[in-house]
Chain A
Amino acid sequence: MKVNVIFFATLGKNRNQEIGEVHLPKGTTVDDLLKMLMIDTTQVCTLSINKKMAAFDQVLLDGDNVTIIPPIGGG
């Protein structure tokens, strides 16, 4: 199956680090995806799948759009 991933790794010129289409086996979770992309879970603040907030253990489905934003806010 295929999912689309956007990782907002930085605010600079290459702000939208569009990792793009990623091929994954069925049953892959967000956690598995992050490991594959070598993104530390501690560097995930906003995590959305198809415009809904998601959890690390959520199982991905074919065609999912995944957005990842690191903790760069405050409060």
Chain B
Amino acid sequence: MPFGYNGKILHVNLSDSTWEIEEPSENWYRTYVGGTALAAYYLLKYLKPSVNPLSEENVLIFACSVVTGAPLSGYSRYTVAAKSPLTGAIGRTEAGGYFGPELKFAGFDAVVLTGRSPKPVYLHINDGKVEIRDAGMLWGQDNWKTLEKIRDETNEKMVRVASIGIAGEKMVPYACVQNDLEHFNGRTGMGAVMGSKNLKAIAVRGHKKLQMADPQRVKEIRKWHNDRIKVHPPNVNLSKFGTPILVKGLNDTGILPTRNFRDGVFEGADSINHETYHNTIFESNSTCYACAVRCKRRVSLKDKKYPLNKHFGGPEYETIASLGSMCGIDNLPGVAHGNQLCNLLGLDTISTGSVIAFAFECFEKGIITKNDTDGRPLNWGDADAMIWLIKEIANRRGIGEILSQGVRKAADIIGQGAEKYAFHIKGQEMPMHDGRGKTGMGMGFALSPTGAEHMESPHDVAFQGDGVSKLYALGIFEPIEPLKTNAQKVRFFVNGQKAWQINNCYGICNFCSVPIHAMTFQMLVDSIRAITGWDTSLYDIMRVSERSNVMSRVFNNREGFETEDDRIIRRWHEPMPTGPLKDQNIDPDEFQEALALYYEISGWDGEGKPTRGKLVDLNLEWLIDES
């Protein structure tokens, strides 16, 4: 009997409403474990190169891991993956909440969806029973109504629902998937892929108890971990204030993305920071399955213009910056209302804010005019304009139709030099971090297979001075210099990336896990051993994360991506104009050297392709002809 996992993968063909259950071997589970690794396996196996991401040929995967649902803080995340309609590269995005564990309790480790339903449907999984239900009455509904109606129809208040909003139905390429209104698979447009398949939602309910190899040891680790969460400073602060706490630190250090990455200091930062948040809109903490950190926020506000409803998750740091400082907006209720709208309509707030900042800068430069916006000005700091654009984008109306395609395509359509202000990597808009203040994170943006992505590796700033002691288990002993781009930085990034990706493969939240938060590498390995009963090690689980990264790279190479796509944005090569980091930039030559060194260390050739030897080393011989 497997421990920690069900040994069952559900395959659903939406074209003919059929399904079957695959039961892979234990060795297969040990090789691909879950999350991004498991998803990459199925995408490489089932997806032909060059297919239209919004065609029925795309494959959509919801993947838990062999440890998802274990009663440990943070072991709740799951991956949604497909070929991305935003980038044309591998698309994948993680979320927490309760959906992932519930899918495990319902009897499956992952769901692989192929084809396209001829009419809107939702997938209902209830204790191993699979049903494809009509979603005609849900189509056109926002995420809140969708959740309520599915709860009514299934007569089950505890059913967990991953759904899309109107933006997903209309296939906005940065539409997101969300579960239970406050947890988001935000990035790479997985909501659009669901919409293209006429799949409105997946609803799951399960009562199966997760079987673990050594439940007593898991219990001991849970107590140790949760006790540590109570005193470990980053977790203490996350519990008290959540991710909004980053606004002040990043602004004080001069790297808060402001006005489309033009500045690193926002004069209105105090109006959108954690103190203002908690004094004005904070309602209560919220959390994910079995998690003691409780970093999620709920917000409420009785306001005629910007009302806030506690049923939606409050804005996280990324959203506060993308809809706030990036757009020059210091109106926190306005930012939170924009967040609420994105949640209702099903838009990724990072891409949405970046697209709006792009539009604001184009308006400032006279590239977009009132003739393009029904007479409406798009000025920095205008919260009403930001909210109007969110609605236009989700409904693909007017200027919103152009902006709904993401900054890369929108700039192509608009022309007149708009591409100078369209900041993206591989087609995906930028998360809210400035590489000029942390060059290792800049490497992560450039090398992430999904395009610009802040979840690719730990950010270098946390390992300055004696902070590097958190990396001793990886054999990194020299303090990290955030502003340098040198061989030491590449060594840090290569190892940091593998360590960080453990969390994406095993579905563990970074806010509970290594290397920054209240988990140690030793206890992480112990937990996987206790849950699965496997004789595993840090070496083994880091190879899983490297395997995931290499499979994603092969997928992108197969789609025609080249080393030229591993880049950062123009503005990061230019000097920061103001603030504590004034005149700081990333030297283009040093950055190219760093990338070349990364390929070499990783066993990739000069064209950025994993070598035959690397594929054999990682048990990926089956991809030799694909690379």
Contacts and interface: CB of A to CB of B under 8 A. Distances in A.
Contacts of A42: 237, 240-241, 245, 248, 274
Contacts of A52: 469
Count chain B CB atoms within 10 A of each CB in A9, A41, A67, A71 and give the residue with the most: A71
Main secondary structure on A side of the interface with B: loop
Contacts, number: 129
Contact of A71 (B245, B438, B580): B245
A48 B581 contact: no
A71 B249 contact: yes
A55 B232 CA distance: 5
B568 to A, nearest CB: 16
A33 interface: no
B237 A44 contact: yes
B237 A73 contact: no
B467 A74 contact: no
Interface string A38-75: 00011111111011111111000000010101111111
Contacts of A50: 466
B512 to A, nearest CB: 11
Interface in B515-532: 516
Nearest to A65: B466
Count chain B CB atoms within 10 A of each CB in A6, A45, A47 and give the residue with the most: A45
B580 A12 contact: yes
B454 interface: yes
Contacts of A55: 231-233
A51 B469 contact: yes
B567 interface: no
Contact of B252 (A10, A15, A47): A10
Contacts of A51: 466, 469
B253 A72 contact: yes
A28 to B, nearest CB: 17
Interface string B465-483: 1110110000000000011
Interface stretch (B85-93, B143-151, B154-162, B456-464): B456-464
Interface string A16-51: 100000000000000000000000011111111011
B465 A70 contact: no
Interface string B387-401: 000000000000000
Nearest to A69: B467
Given A46-B462, A75-B511, A11 B255 contact: yes
Contacts of A71: 234, 237, 245-246, 249
B441 interface: yes
A8 B466 CA distance: 11
A29 to B, nearest CB: 12
Interface string B234-269: 101100110001101110111100000000000000
B253 A46 contact: no
B561 interface: no
Given A11-B254, A42-B274, A43-B249, A6 B465 contact: yes
What bracket does the count of chain A residues touching chain B fall in? 20 to 34
A56 B245 CA distance: 17
Count chain B CB atoms within 10 A of each CB in A16, A47, A50, A57 and give the residue with the most: A47
Given A11-B580, A53-B232, A72 B437 contact: yes
Interface in B571-607: 579-582, 584
Contact of B233 (A9, A44, A65): A44
Interface string B195-237: 0000000000000000000000000000000000001111011
A8 B461 CA distance: 9
B186 interface: no
A47 B233 contact: yes
A56 B236 contact: yes
Nearest to B454: A74
B233 A75 contact: no
B510 interface: yes
Nearest to B465: A67
B246 A74 contact: yes
A46 B249 contact: no
Given A10-B580, A56-B233, A45 B462 contact: yes
Count chain B CB atoms within 10 A of each CB in A15, A43, A56, A74 and give the residue with the most: A74
B433 interface: yes
Contacts of B253: 10-12, 70, 72
Given A52-B469, A55-B233, A72 B246 contact: yes
A60 to B, nearest CB: 15
Given A42-B237, A56-B233, A57-B231, A11 B465 contact: no
B286 to A, nearest CB: 18
B317 interface: yes
B467 A48 contact: yes
23 contacts: A10-B254, A10-B580, A16-B465, A43-B248, A44-B237, A45-B237, A47-B233, A51-B466, A52-B469, A53-B469, A53-B470, A55-B233, A67-B467, A69-B467, A71-B246, A72-B250, A72-B253, A73-B246, A73-B459, A73-B462, A75-B455, A75-B459, A75-B516
Interface of A: 6, 8-12, 15-16, 41-48, 50-57, 65, 67, 69-75
Given A72-B462, A74-B441, 20 more contacts: A10-B253, A11-B581, A11-B584, A12-B253, A42-B237, A42-B274, A43-B249, A45-B237, A45-B516, A46-B464, A48-B466, A55-B232, A56-B236, A57-B231, A69-B462, A72-B249, A72-B459, A73-B246, A73-B516, A75-B455
Q: What are the 4 closest A-B residue pairs judged by CB atoms, nearest first?
A: A12-B580, A55-B231, A73-B459, A67-B466
